Amino acid sequence: MTIATNISLKPYHTFGTDVYAHAFAAFHTQDELAELLDYATQQQLHPLILGGGSNVLFTKNFDGIVLKNELKGKSVIHENDEHILLKVAAGENWHQLVMYCIEQQYAGIENLSLIPGNVGASPMQNIGAYGVEIKDVFESLDAWHIKEKKLIHLNNADCRFGYRESIFKQELKNECVITAVTFRLHKKPIYHTSYGAIQAELNKMGVQELSIAAIAQAVINIRSSKLPDPKIIGNAGSFFKNPTIPISHYQDVQKAYPNIPGYPDKTNSNLIKVAAGWLIEQCGFKGFRKGDAGCHALQALVLVNYGQATGQDIFDLSIRIIEAVQKKFGIILEREVNIY
Ligand code: FAD
Ligand code: NAP
């Protein structure tokens, strides 16, 4: 194992800002991970686990040790007429996993096509898109508990999944390293096509017979047409969560803005989920650019680095947006991206 020092993180995160890590190493096995965590403790270096770096913003150099997850492998651990339990190592690429499942006819994650990053980060914020979240197919996970130096096993309820939320953003924040995730996938697909533009895209594609491959392709087409490719323009997807507000607040805003998009909250009938992108757009930020930090022209929820922006430039823009949205609508936006 090589431990490098003073390493540029530019190739390792999708915002592509030029920040440095005091130390950096990759782990390929659980033993290597344990060894590196011991090293971090001895050297008093704070560890940061990095997958694909597609949900992080570094506002300054990182003075701890970045541990890049390279745990690989997947296996079917149980199968019956209805389901497959597929255990996947945390360093596997998420989209490649989706494509593998489609080839194998394992249904359940097709709506989550083209989400960047690794399997290990997927439970962190209960990744979701087009009406599906990983909690819908999540069976359990293994994680290395850093202080207790042992492997722990968490089931679906243990993870306390919520909207872009889990125990790993709360009580277990920075406490453990997810090493493998087991998914319960279906042999008989349950199609989710009512969300967003999926049905319209399927029609455009001329799909006669629905399949998980067709849904995945529809999602890929929609995403490719409106989301900036991080290889070309630095970004971390949606920068903010969609806020949920009391119905009374929603109705007040609706009086002045009848077109405000709102969706009933899945878990609380007194709350309405509002599209953060729409709020930001109403404040005039869609396509806004200051230096190389900006708000994407096609999706205001995505903050972008046009080249030379620093993490602080992007963070400062996010503060401006939060203040503007609060002033105009009395709604406080919460960042979805993990800030370091
Ligand atoms: P990283 O950015 O590497 O890490 C994110 C956080 O998780 C960090 O705090 C890190 O320390 C921690 N972490 C990572 N791996 C582990 C581990 N094994 N154990 C413990 N902690 C860990 N998200 C969605 O939910 N839905 C979308 O539709 C979506 N679309 C996106 C589109 C684009 C273009 C981009 C750039 C991002 C998008 N995202 C989306 C956000 C992002 O892709 C996901 O959150 C993804 O799961 C992050 O994976 P990662 O491996 O890149 O995580
Ligand atoms: P969109 O279709 O323009 O819709 C805007 C917002 O309205 C979405 O964020 C979505 O909330 C909500 N929405 C739309 N239809 C809905 C319905 N039928 N029921 C409940 N809520 C509905 O969104 P988009 O920007 O193109 O994104 C499409 C999907 O990809 C969304 O699910 C979005 O979350 C996901 N995505 C996520 C990221 C990320 O980084 N987190 C980045 C890009 C896209 P939800 O976000 O709650 O689904």
User: What angle in degrees, to the nearest 10, is found between the helix axes of 94-104 and 212-226?
Assistant: 150
- In Å, the largest CA–CA distance within the chain is 61
Of residues 242, 249, 298, the one with CA closest to residue 270: 249
Looking at residues 131-140, what average pLDDT do you find? Answer: 97
Band the pLDDT of 88: cuts 50, 70, 90.
Answer: very high
> Considering every ligand atom, which ligand is closest to the CA of 124?
1
**Averaged over 200-212, what is the pLDDT?**
96
In terms of pTM, does the model score above 0.75?
yes
How far away, in angstroms, is 195 Cα from ligand 2 center? 8
Q: What is the pLDDT of residue 101?
A: 98
Nearest CA to ligand 1 atom 5: 55
Catalytic residue among 54, 140, 238, 318: 238
**Residue found under tokens 């909250």:** 265
Annotation says 164 is catalytic: yes
- Mean pLDDT, the chain, rounded, equals 97
Q: Is the CB of 222 under 6 A from ligand 1?
A: no
φ, ψ of residue 133 to 5 degrees: the values are -125, 160
57 strand-pairing partners: 339
Q: Which residue has tokens 């890929």?
A: 220
Tell the burial category of 158 from Cβ atoms under 10 Å away from its Cβ (0-12, 13-18, 19+): middle
pLDDT at 196: 78
267 alpha carbon – ligand 2 mean position (Å): 17
Residue pLDDT, tens place only, 258-275: 999 999 998 899 999 999
**What are the backbone angles phi and psi of residue 293, rounded to the nearest 5°?**
-100, 135
Of 129, 144, 136, nearest in space to 89 by CA:
144
- Taking the C-alpha atoms of residue 171 and residue 173, their distance in angstroms, rounded to an integer, is 6
| Other C-beta atoms lying within 10 Å of the C-beta of residue 3 | 16
239 CA distance to ligand 2 middle (Å): 12
Catalytic pick among 92, 140, 164, 318: 164
- Whether the pLDDT of residue 40 is over 90: the answer is yes
Q: What's the confidence (pLDDT) of residue 339? A: 97
The number of the ligand nearest the C-alpha atom of 112 reads: 1
User: Is residue 74 scored above 90 in pLDDT?
Assistant: yes
Stated as kind and residue range, the H or E segment containing 211 is: none
